[in-house]
Amino acid sequence: MLKYSLRRIIKLIPVLVAITLMVFTLMYLTPGDPALQKLTSQGGAVTPELLAMERHEMGLDRPFFVRYVDWVVNVAQGDFGNSFKDDQPVAVKLLKALGYTGALAAASTLFSVLIAIPIGVYTAIKKDSIFDNIVRVLTFTGNAMPNFLIALLLMFLFCIKVKFFPVIATASLKGMFLPTLALSIPMISRFARQTRADVMCQLSEEYVIGMHARGVKERIILFRNVLHNSLGSIITIVSLQIRVLIGGSVVTEMIFRWPGIGSLMMNSITARDYPVVQGAVLILSTLQVLINLLTDLSYYVIDKRISME
Amino acid sequence: MKTEKPKLSRSQIKQLKLKRKVIIWGVVVTMILVLSFFAPYFLPYDPLETNAAMMRKAPSLQHLFGTDNMGRDVLSRLLAGARTSIFATIMLVIISFFVGTVVGVICGYYGGALDDLVMRFTDILLSVPQLVLAIAVAGMLGGSLVNTMIAIGITSWTSYARLARSHAMRIRQLPFINACRLTGCSDAHIIITHVVPNLIGPMLVNATLEIGTTMLSIAGLSFLGLGVAPPTPEWGAMVSESRNYLQLAPWAVFAPASAILLTVMLFNYFGESVCDLASSKEA
């Protein structure tokens, strides 16, 4: 296990290097002079002398590669530079926002899994029942819903019509409920569909028929064998969905004004505050890579045969 | 005299049913495409004309879907935006499909260092959250429909490339390809006349399944204000413009949002029916 994990972690290094290079190049290619942007976003008149000084101070007159290495070394030490807007360290802003996004992502993933897996298993057993058909229509619709439609619909129903929740989500359990629900609905749809398909696929396997023939109780087959065997692909779809979730959280956070990384990134894009955008993209991408790693490691925990190759 | 109906096996009947489904959804999708293409010529009102006297009017016989915050007719904007929203999606799918297939086939057919390099590159693109990267790119490039398409296109070709590559690798090893090589066919000839026709089927199935997702990505970006520049009607942008008036004019938000939902659902139904038919043929 340790050897496998180590090998996987070493494989991560080139990916992380490539991601930093990509994020840095993206900002490098961005039209506009960061020094000019910094000066104008802080207000005040910009003279050519001031601009040249600022450029030198920010190190913009150095070659691309030197700047890149410099940036990566700083980032590795937790220094993401300072925001153009208020000169505050980006790392502090990111860390604060990361907590909010993390809470939202964790809550919605957990909530979706808890709801979707029982639904998926039940619809697989009661295939073509009325319940199965209703769920099929609902999950199909949930799958095709744009993120913002769900969020706006929830907001319209619960904040404007019923006035049960505040329109602007506060950082409390009550405030978190609607954003979590908005992120969960598409996930529940996908998880339930996947679970249903996997469980049905397992149920038609020969070992299930064999166990039935030997008189093993239905419940034991289902929970001890079928669910365990479907776990691998359920984890795959959950980890794939986290990628979508991170993207979707940008929209949801914007709508509910949830102070997470998504809103931070959008506000910084509008304000052309590039160090913050750069930091946000880097953090979210790194997070994604780490989740991928955890997914791979969890396959090993579930199915020991995987380590053989 | 009894006339006996030709007996079909159960699997044949199933296939015919699946085929019928594909045809029905295909017709529906084609109709949507044709309607959205010609809709801008049959608008009840000018989609860009603002009217201070008609601001945020509820749906009525005059304005079926009401008016938005600037007094513009929502139905007219919806119809005018259909072409932009749907054709941007289709164009993006076609371009990603084309680029992905070309790259994937070349990688899969030749293999080697180029293949390694490209596949590592797609690994990296796939390990980054797609929408986040797209937001960053679109944010940098500035809001326009083409920039949105570029921002999403950067990652969307990779899934086609991986699929095409895996098929090309499989086909490359088949005996008839070796036979072709022995008769002296060039690589280009083999790829165009033998490899591509054998993988285009599954690739097309994948593309029809991707239409819905692509449309949602474009809508998401333009909802965030990174799509078309304001007065141009486009569904995601319409929702974005009207969402601050959700309380006063919910119709201006939910009409375009529902249009996206319905269109994505139709494309998904179509994609799924094509996929079902394809997998039943394989079995």
Distance from CA of A51 to the nearest CA of B (A): 22
Q: For chain A, say whether B144 makes contact (Cβ under 8 Å).
A: no
Instruction: List the single residue in A with minimal CA-CA distance to B133.
Output: A281
Distance from CA of B135 to the nearest CA of A (A): 8
Task: With CA atoms as reference, report the closest residue to B259 among B27, B74, B48, B59.
Answer: B74
In a domain, B239, yes or no: yes
A-chain residues near B212 (CB < 8 A): 144
SS3 (DSSP) at A283: helix
Condensed to tens digits (0 to 9), the pLDDT of residues A192-239 reads 988 888 888 888 888 888 888 888 888 888 888 888 888 877 888 888
* Contacts of A201 by beta carbon, 8 Å cutoff, 6+ apart: A230
Contact assignment for A149 to B258 by CB distance below 8 Å: yes
DSSP lists the bridge partners of residue B67 as: B73
Measured between alpha carbons, how far is A138 from A136 in angstroms, rounded to an integer?
5
Contact assignment for B261 to A269 by CB distance below 8 Å: no
pTM beyond cutoff 0.90? no
B-chain residues near A140 (CB < 8 A): 265, 268-269
Q: For chain A, say whether B127 makes contact (Cβ under 8 Å).
A: yes
φ and ψ at B127, to 5 degrees? Answer: -90, 0
Condensed to tens digits (0 to 9), the pLDDT of residues A61-119 reads 777 888 888 888 888 888 887 777 777 888 888 888 888 888 888 899 999 999 998 89
Contact assignment for A281 to B136 by CB distance below 8 Å: yes
Looking up residue B69, the CATH number of its domain turns out to be 1.10.3720.10
Q: Residue A111's pLDDT is what?
A: 92
Task: With CA atoms as reference, report the closest residue to B152 among B257, B224, B75, B235.
Answer: B224
Mean pLDDT of A48-65: 77
Q: Report how many Cβ contacts below 8 Å link chain A to chain B.
A: 129
B-chain residues near A270 (CB < 8 A): 225
- Among partner residues A18, A30, A148, which is closest to B239 by beta-carbon distance? A148
Q: For chain A, say whether B264 makes contact (Cβ under 8 Å).
A: yes
Contact assignment for B254 to A15 by CB distance below 8 Å: no
A-chain residues near B150 (CB < 8 A): none
Residue showing tokens 């290079």: A21
Residue B255 lies in domain: 62-282
Side chain identity, residue A37? Q
Q: For chain A, say whether B224 makes contact (Cβ under 8 Å).
A: yes
Quick check: B226 and B140 in contact, CB under 8 A? no
In tens digits, chain B (283 residues) has pLDDT values of 566 677 778 888 888 888 888 899 989 988 888 888 887 787 777 777 777 666 667 777 676 777 777 767 778 888 888 888 888 899 999 999 999 999 999 998 888 888 888 888 888 888 788 888 888 888 877 778 888 888 889 888 988 998 899 888 888 888 888 888 888 888 888 888 888 888 888 888 888 888 888 998 888 888 888 877 777 788 888 888 888 777 777 887 888 888 899 999 999 889 888 888 887 776 6
Measured between alpha carbons, how far is B206 from B159 in angstroms, rounded to an integer?
9
Q: How far is CA B278 from the centre of its chain?
A: 19
User: Under CATH, domain A91-271 is a member of which superfamily?
Assistant: MetI-like (1.10.3720.10)
Number of domains in chain B: 1
Q: Running DSSP on this structure, what letter comes out for residue B53?
A: G
Q: Where are the domains of chain A?
A: 2-77, 91-271
Instruction: List the single residue in A with minimal CA-CA distance to B248.
Output: A160
Instruction: List the single residue in B with minimal CA-CA distance to A159.
Output: B247
B-chain residues near A156 (CB < 8 A): 246, 250, 253-254
B-chain residues near A143 (CB < 8 A): 268
- Among partner residues B123, B140, B261, which is closest to A149 by beta-carbon distance? B261
- Among partner residues B135, B220, B268, which is closest to A146 by beta-carbon distance? B220
Quick check: A242 and A109 in contact, CB under 8 A? yes
Instruction: List the single residue in A with minimal CA-CA distance to B256.
Output: A149
Instruction: List the single residue in B with minimal CA-CA distance to A160.
Output: B247
Quick check: A247 and B129 in contact, CB under 8 A? yes
Whether the per-residue pLDDT at A163 is higher than 80: the answer is no
Quick check: A191 and A112 in contact, CB under 8 A? yes
Q: Residue A309's pLDDT is what?
A: 47
Interface mutation target, options A154, A281, A289, chain B, most CBs of B under 10 Å? A281
Side chain identity, residue B87? F
- Among partner residues B123, B212, B224, which is closest to A144 by beta-carbon distance? B212
B-chain residues near A247 (CB < 8 A): 129-132, 134-135, 220
Q: For chain A, say whether B209 makes contact (Cβ under 8 Å).
A: no
- Among partner residues A19, A141, A152, which is closest to B246 by beta-carbon distance? A152
Condensed to tens digits (0 to 9), the pLDDT of residues A293-309 reads 888 788 777 776 655 44
Distance from CA of A215 to the nearest CA of B (A): 32
